[in-house]
């Protein structure tokens, strides 16, 4: 049985940093691609960063240069280091696992949809 759980969200001021953690169990990082999605109020969910099972990272233009995705294959944990946050980054952040990353206008998604999701963690950036 696969479990995914995000943590590390919170409220920060503009310019601040947060590190999100996605703890997983029952999931092989050698067989799954991983995506960080976010969903802001009134907006559709978007995949802002992803990492393939082979370790290649991708970033949406909106976060490139500010966010860093990484993973620990021993701990089966996914991370998202978020620096220089601004109010437009306010959203609920989710980690997801699946097979086959596709990129559309620099946003990540799964070719056939995610197989597993976490419940999400809220990030609020105040000005």
- Asked if 31 and 53 touch (Cβ cutoff 8 Å), the reply is yes
Q: How far is CA 126 from the centre of its chain?
A: 20
The predicted model gives 38-60 an average pLDDT of 96
In whole angstroms, what is the distance from residue 72 CA to residue 78 CA? 6
**% residues pLDDT > 70 (the chain):** 100
The predicted model gives 68-83 an average pLDDT of 97
Q: What is the pLDDT of residue 126?
A: 97
Q: What is the pLDDT of residue 106?
A: 87
- Asked if 116 and 26 touch (Cβ cutoff 8 Å), the reply is no
Q: What is the pLDDT of residue 1?
A: 93
Neighbours of 37 (CB within 10 A): 24
**Residue from 33, 4, 6, 32 nearest 20 by CA:** 6
pLDDT in tens, 86-95: 999 999 999 9
Q: What is the pLDDT of residue 65?
A: 98
DSSP 31-97: T-EEEEEEE-TTS--EEEEEE-TT--EEE-TTTTTTEEEEEETTTTEEEEEE-S--GGG-EEEEEEE
pLDDT in tens, 102-116: 988 889 999 888 999
């Amino acid at each position: 049985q696969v479990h995914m759980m995000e943590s590390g969200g919170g409220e920060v001021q503009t310019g601040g940093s947060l590190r999100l953690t996605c703890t997983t169990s029952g999931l092989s990082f050698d067989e799954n691609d991983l995506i960080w999605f976010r969903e802001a109020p009134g907006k559709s969910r978007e995949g802002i960063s992803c990492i393939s099972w082979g370790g290649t990272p991708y970033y949406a233009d909106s976060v490139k240069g500010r966010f860093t995705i990484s993973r620990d294959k021993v701990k089966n944990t996914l991370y998202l280091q978020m620096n220089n946050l601004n109010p437009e980054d306010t959203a609920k952040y989710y980690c997801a696992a699946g097979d086959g990353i596709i990129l559309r206008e620099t946003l990540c998604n799964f070719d056939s949809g995610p197989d597993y999701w976490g419940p999400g963690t809220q990030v609020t950036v105040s000005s």
